[in-house]
Amino acid sequence: MRKRSKSTEGADQGNAGNSAASLTRGLDILRAFSPNDATLGNQELIERTGLAGATVSRLTATLVSLGYLHYDAVLGRYSIGAATVALGYSALSSNPIIHMARPLMQELADWTGAAVALGTSDGLEMVYLANCRSMSPVTLQLNVGSRVPMARTAMGLAYLAGLDDERRGTLVEALKQADSQGSERFAADLDQAMRDRAKFGFVTAFGSWHSYINAVGVTFHPTDGSPTVALTCGGIVDILSADHCRNNVGPRLIALVEQLRERLAGGRMETGR
């Protein structure tokens, strides 16, 4: 077999690097869409990704051809394509944690009259993987795919408090750099969250995201190798008072996690038979 020359090997490595960079940038474009965005134009994609206009045009054309984006020629705007929807649906529908957690989450949502969510980290934000609401017309109107700030929500603080020191330290430093003005309050909130988690098993966030929102959060470490997630119960202060959160909702969330852990263990035992 003829050996490759050094120049050929270098070219291959360069192409591999370019492919990886293109993939990363293409994913940045898809991540620019939020649940509230029906469509985005080129300029909005440029602003949200920080990519050059020519790069955005080239990558959106590729994503459209693959079905990950849809282009409306009349409006000159892009929307999420069927291939992206199918990919996300496959990930969520095949996740046993979400499948087993949802009935427990709905039960807690109905009991509290609030909203119960399960999410994990995506960059410096938390993204909803599942969400259950009560029939109350005043519950939080967030859905799967919604993003909330890691530094100012019960979901984010519970997630951070449950990480190992190294992983937490990396995220904390990035969060402080991203919002230097709010770094002191964030440090105080996280310190309190870690103390509360150690003492009570859950964390609270009273008005730290929105002044009228109270929430409780717990960490869940799946034993099947899945990423760490956080579960929260949140609602307006009229429904979830601080005392109610501490005395009732927090313990119920801890019980939910224990039930989820038992169900997952039982599911693995059934699978192993």
pLDDT tens digits along 151-192: 999 999 999 999 999 999 999 999 999 998 888 999 999 999
The pLDDT of residue 89 is: 64
Percent of the chain with pLDDT over 70: 87
For domain 6-85, the CATH class is: mainly alpha
| pTM assigned to the model | 0.73
DSSP state of 222: -
pLDDT digits (tens, 9 = 90+) for 189-233: 999 999 999 999 999 999 988 889 999 999 999 877 778 999 999
The pLDDT of residue 247 is: 97
The pLDDT of residue 1 is: 37
To the nearest whole number, what is the mean pLDDT of the chain?
A: 85
The pLDDT of residue 46 is: 94
> Which residue, among 254, 255, 200, 210, has the nearest Cα to 235 in the 3D structure?
210
Domain 95-272 has CATH 3.30.56.10: no
Asked whether the predicted pLDDT for residue 270 surpasses 60, the reply is no
Could you tell me if 143 and 118 are in contact, meaning their C-beta atoms sit under 8 angstroms apart?
no
What is the mean pLDDT of the segment spanning 133-149?
78
* E strand spans, the chain: 69-72, 77-80, 115-122, 125-133, 147-149, 203-206, 213-220, 229-236
Q: Do domains 6-85 and 95-272 have the same CATH topology?
A: no
Asked whether the predicted pLDDT for residue 56 surpasses 90, the reply is yes
What is the mean pLDDT of the segment spanning 48-61?
93
Asked whether the predicted pLDDT for residue 254 surpasses 80, the reply is yes
**How far apart, in whole angstroms, are the C-alpha atoms of residue 209 and residue 213?**
7
**How far apart, in whole angstroms, are the C-alpha atoms of residue 134 and residue 93?**
22
By CB neighbour count within 10 A (0-12 exposed, 13-18 middle, 19+ buried), where does 73 fall? exposed
58-72, 98-112, 259-273: which has the minimum mean pLDDT? 259-273
What is the mean pLDDT of the segment spanning 25-47?
87
Query: Domain residue spans in the chain?
Result: 6-85, 95-272
